[in-house]
Amino acid sequence: MDLKTYLSTRLQALGIEDIQFNPDIDEVDLVDMETGEVRRVDGFQFVVQTYFQQLPDDFAQRSSLVDAVFCVLLANANQPMAVSEIADQVNRSGDVVLRTLSGNRVYQGITPFFDE
């Protein structure tokens, strides 16, 4: 399944139907506010990232842990995050987050990244 189809399906499963996609926008210039670096990103990724950055604060409490972590990672442009950062965002214990995501089962493609 292609990523856009998968994310659209996940958004609908989460009850999120008010997000608007413009299929004519292939890429968007994104400015990193910390470094000033400008990079081109997929227009769909930008819309999804922007949407998930604007979710209400109580969204994590109303969602399963896996769905909440999935949304936090999408809001972070699918970049690796420390367990403590994710735990703060989803208002759950870091131990619970780590145990859930580092088990044998892979949820929604989320896997731990161990920096050596």
For 20-62, the pLDDT digits (tens) are 656 566 888 888 888 999 988 888 778 777 777 877 777 777 8
Examine the pLDDT at 19 and tell me if it is beyond 90.
no
pLDDT tens digit string along 74-100?
Answer: 888 888 899 999 999 999 999 999 999
- Supply the pTM of this predicted model: 0.70
The DSSP H or E segment spanning 9 is helix 3-13
CA–CA distance from 66 to each of 26, 38, 95 (Å)? 29, 31, 14
